[in-house]
């Protein structure tokens, strides 16, 4: 069982059995729906049981008026809900707008799609859309870290040799100190940094400033740039690196930065299951709400979950 990742030029040319989005306090949570004309048999918008501030009320009304099925639930209930949703609709092609989902929920969605395909021995195409946010200056607020560990139990990883040193692949964001703090906490023997190249040079400047110490410590040869408009190239970089690292180390991935990177790392971890771990470092509900406004750019990728008999 594997996930094949490919680039996607459009999401308007296909019909979907299921379209999953989210609503919350970010303005961009409606951007994909407003930008593209999507045909789907079932449309579901999922909300959070906290963070009902900023644009939450407006986005909820938007989806309700558009006659989507709305469900608000906690992270603890998310797995069971998605499993039930897939079992009920039995899709072969779905679209997920990950723009305003948390990284935890993105990981659970990718795993659920893979697991559904595996259990049913059927191919499932999952198109992923990510509305790139307009640049905002980094926050000066640094809430305490409350979650350090596997992003989900399914992607915790079970290395065959726990005595091997840790190699850490880190997706960079512009949260100052978070990435280097995680690297020091894990005491990784090797560091590899993935730096997003987006559509606004101000983001890259802020990112480099926030991660200056970590970049210098790691060395330029282990800083790998990836483009937000080419998720597959990023996936191939990760896949190739993991293939080389897993024989001598225990690779662990920390997907900070744009959320499309989280989806890609989860797909890569599944393809090397159970050798690779994906972790998260977050402040959970203590994170200060920030209204991410859509820039107008959208990153797209297709994840094809392939059962063994369908592999070429």
pLDDT tens column, 14-28: 899 999 999 999 999
- Establish if 43 belongs to a structural domain: yes
Residue located via tokens 């091997």? 164
Please indicate, yes or no, whether residues 68 and 156 belong to a single structural domain of this protein: no
Q: Tally the domains of the chain.
A: 2
Please indicate, yes or no, whether residues 87 and 162 belong to a single structural domain of this protein: no
Please indicate, yes or no, whether residues 62 and 109 belong to a single structural domain of this protein: yes
Please indicate, yes or no, whether residues 153 and 281 belong to a single structural domain of this protein: yes
Please indicate, yes or no, whether residues 263 and 306 belong to a single structural domain of this protein: no
Cα distances (Å, whole numbers) of residue 83 to 7, 112, 131: 26, 6, 25
Range of the domain at 72: 2-134+290-310
Give Cβ neighbours of residue 13 (< 8 Å, ≥ 6 apart): none
**Under a CB-based contact definition with an 8 Å cutoff, are residues 20 and 97 in contact?**
yes
- Mean pLDDT for 85-98 is 97
- Establish if 142 belongs to a structural domain: no
pLDDT above 90 coverage of the chain, percent: 79
Please indicate, yes or no, whether residues 188 and 222 belong to a single structural domain of this protein: yes
Which helix (H) or strand (E) is 131 found in, with range? strand 124-133
Which helix (H) or strand (E) is 298 found in, with range? strand 294-306
Give Cβ neighbours of residue 155 (< 8 Å, ≥ 6 apart): 107, 111, 266, 269, 270, 276, 277, 278
Please report which confidence band the pLDDT of residue 284 belongs to, taking 50, 70 and 90 as the band edges.
Answer: low
The dihedrals phi and psi of 262, each to the nearest 5 degrees, come to: -60, -45
CATH of residue 166's domain is 3.40.50.11700
Please report which confidence band the pLDDT of residue 309 belongs to, taking 50, 70 and 90 as the band edges.
Answer: low
CATH of residue 79's domain is 3.40.50
Residue located via tokens 């303005």? 27
- Establish if 29 belongs to a structural domain: yes
**Under a CB-based contact definition with an 8 Å cutoff, are residues 105 and 72 in contact?**
no
Please indicate, yes or no, whether residues 117 and 163 belong to a single structural domain of this protein: no
**Under a CB-based contact definition with an 8 Å cutoff, are residues 136 and 68 in contact?**
no
CA 292 to chain centre: 16
- Mean pLDDT for 143-156 is 85
- Establish if 22 belongs to a structural domain: yes
The CB-side HSE value for 142 (13 A sphere, CA atoms) comes to: 8
pLDDT above 70 coverage of the chain, percent: 96
**DSSP 8-state symbol, 248:** T
Please indicate, yes or no, whether residues 232 and 282 belong to a single structural domain of this protein: yes
Q: Which two tokens stand for residue 174?
A: 């512009």
The dihedrals phi and psi of 287, each to the nearest 5 degrees, come to: -60, 135
**DSSP 8-state symbol, 160:** S
Nearest CA among 128, 104, 103, 120 for reference residue 20 = 128
- Mean pLDDT for 174-182 is 82
**Under a CB-based contact definition with an 8 Å cutoff, are residues 211 and 218 in contact?**
no
Does the pLDDT of residue 144 top 80, yes or no? no
Residue-wise pLDDT for 98-129, tens only, equals 999 999 999 999 999 999 999 999 999 999 99
Please report which confidence band the pLDDT of residue 312 belongs to, taking 50, 70 and 90 as the band edges.
Answer: very low
Pairing between strand 294-306 and 124-133?
antiparallel
Q: Which long-range contacts (CB under 8 A, 24 or more apart) does 61-69 make?
A: 62/23, 62/30, 62/33, 63/21, 63/23, 63/30, 63/33, 66/33, 67/43, 68/21, 68/43, 68/44, 69/42, 69/43, 69/44, 69/45
Using DSSP, state whether 238 is helix, strand or coil.
helix
Q: Which two tokens stand for residue 17?
A: 């059995």
Please indicate, yes or no, whether residues 100 and 158 belong to a single structural domain of this protein: no
- Establish if 139 belongs to a structural domain: no
- Establish if 250 belongs to a structural domain: yes
**Under a CB-based contact definition with an 8 Å cutoff, are residues 195 and 223 in contact?**
yes
- Establish if 20 belongs to a structural domain: yes
pLDDT score of 238: 97
pLDDT score of 195: 96
Please indicate, yes or no, whether residues 271 and 243 belong to a single structural domain of this protein: yes
pLDDT score of 223: 97
Cα separation, 249 vs 268, in Å, equals 16
- Mean pLDDT for 58-83 is 97
Residue-wise pLDDT for 195-236, tens only, equals 999 888 999 999 999 999 999 999 999 999 999 989 899 999
- Establish if 141 belongs to a structural domain: no
pLDDT score of 199: 83
Please indicate, yes or no, whether residues 191 and 124 belong to a single structural domain of this protein: no
Does the pLDDT of residue 285 top 80, yes or no? no
Q: Which two tokens stand for residue 22?
A: 């989210």
Please indicate, yes or no, whether residues 230 and 186 belong to a single structural domain of this protein: yes
pLDDT score of 139: 74
């Amino acid at each position: 069982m594997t996930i094949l990742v490919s680039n996607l030029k459009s999401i308007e040319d296909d019909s979907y059995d299921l379209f999953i989005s989210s609503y919350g306090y970010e303005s961009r949570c409606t951007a994909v729906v407003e930008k593209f004309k999507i045909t789907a048999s079932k449309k579901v918008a999922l909300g959070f049981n906290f963070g009902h501030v900023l644009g939450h009320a407006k986005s909820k009304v938007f989806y309700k008026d558009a006659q989507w099925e709305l469900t608000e639930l906690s992270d603890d209930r998310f797995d069971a809900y998605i499993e039930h949703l897939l079992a009920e609709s039995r899709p072969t092609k779905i679209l997920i707008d990950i723009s305003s989902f948390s990284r935890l929920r993105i990981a659970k969605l990718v795993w659920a799609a893979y697991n559904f395909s595996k259990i049913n021995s059927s191919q499932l195409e999952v198109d992923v859309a990510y509305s790139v946010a307009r640049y905002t200056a980094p926050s000066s607020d640094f809430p305490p870290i409350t979650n350090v560990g596997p992003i989900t139990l399914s992607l915790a990883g079970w290395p065959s040799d726990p005595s091997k040193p840790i190699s850490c692949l880190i997706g960079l964001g512009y949260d100052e100190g978070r990435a280097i703090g995680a690297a020091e906490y894990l005491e990784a023997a090797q560091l590899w940094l993935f730096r997003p190249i987006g559509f606004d040079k101000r983001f890259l400047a802020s990112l480099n400033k926030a991660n200056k110490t970590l970049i210098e410590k790691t060395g330029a040869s282990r800083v790998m740039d990836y483009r937000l408009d080419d998720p597959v190239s990023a996936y191939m970089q990760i896949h190739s690196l993991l293939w080389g690292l897993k024989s001598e180390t225990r690779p662990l991935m920390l997907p900070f930065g744009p959320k499309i990177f989280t989806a890609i790392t989860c797909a890569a971890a599944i393809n090397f299951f159970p050798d690779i771990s994906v972790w998260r470092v977050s402040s959970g509900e203590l994170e200060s709400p920030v209204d991410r406004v859509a820039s107008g750019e959208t990153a797209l990728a297709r994840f094809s979950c392939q059962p063994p008999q369908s592999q070429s």
